[in-house]
Structure 1
C-alpha cells in the first residue's frame, strides 16, 4: 500500500487498487492494467501514483495512473527487459520519489534502473564480504550515491 495525494492506495489482489480518501473515508476501486502477482507494488514517483509488476521472463512493467474528473487510466510508461543481466532473483524495493527511477535487489545487489535513460547501475552489494549484514529498510530522501551506507546494518 502507499499514501498519495491524501489517499491510501492498497493493491487488492488480483485485479484492482482500493483508493481510500482519508479525510472522507470514501472508498473507490481502480482496475489494475494487468492482474497483480506476488511482487506487485504501488508507489509514487515524479508526482504520479505508479504500479510495478514483473513476470517470470525478467520483464518488468511500470504503469502510471492518469486521472481526470472521476476517471482513472493506467498508462504503461516503461517496459523493462533485464535479459542482458545474468539474473537469478529480482525483488522490487522502491520508486525514487523525484526521478523516473526504481530500485531493485538483483542477486544480492542493490541496483538502480533509470527509466528515462534505460540504464542500470549497481548501488551496493549485500553479498561477499558483507555476509553478516542484512537489509533493514529503504527510506529514500533526497538521493545521494551513498544510500547503500544507510541500508546495511551489521548483525549483533
Structure 2
C-alpha cells in the first residue's frame, strides 16, 4: 500500500512538473491605429537558484551573519569564534530574538555526505553559542546541504562561501 501511494505521488509530481514546463500561449495585441501604443513589460521575477549566475550566488551570501568552514571540516576557526561571540552578546542582550542556524555545503561530495557535514557544522555553531550563554529556546537548527546551491557555483571562491552556517535572525 505504501509503495503504491509512493508511485501515485511520484506520478502526480511528474505530471505537475510537466505542466509547469509548458510554454505560455502567444497572445497577439491589436496594432495601433494612429496612436502610439507601448507594450506592457512583463513583471520581472528574481532569478531562481538554477538560473542565477555565480556572481549572483556570491552576492546573495549573508557574510556578516555566517560562519565559514574549511572543506571537510566542522571546526570553527578563530574568525568564526569571534563572530559567534558578537552574535551571542546580541542574543543574550535581547532574549526575545530568535535565530535559525542554517547549514550549507559546497557541491563536492554526495548528497548524504553534504547533508551530514552541514548538520555537524550547525551542531558545532549551536554548541558554541550555547557555551557562550545563548538560551536553547532562542535557536533552531536546519541543514540544507547543497540543496539550495546553484549549479553555477563552480569556482573555489564560490564553493568556499557555500561551506557555512548562516545565522538567520527572526522576529
Quick check: TM above 0.5?
A: no
Higher strand share goes to which structure? 1
TM range (shorter): under 0.3
Give 1 or 2 for the bigger CA radius of gyration. Answer: 2
Tell me the TM-score normalized by structure 1.
Answer: 0.24
- Using CA pairs under 8 Å that are at least 6 residues apart, name the structure with larger relative contact order, 1 or 2: 2
Higher helix share goes to which structure? 2
Tell me the TM-score normalized by structure 2.
Answer: 0.22
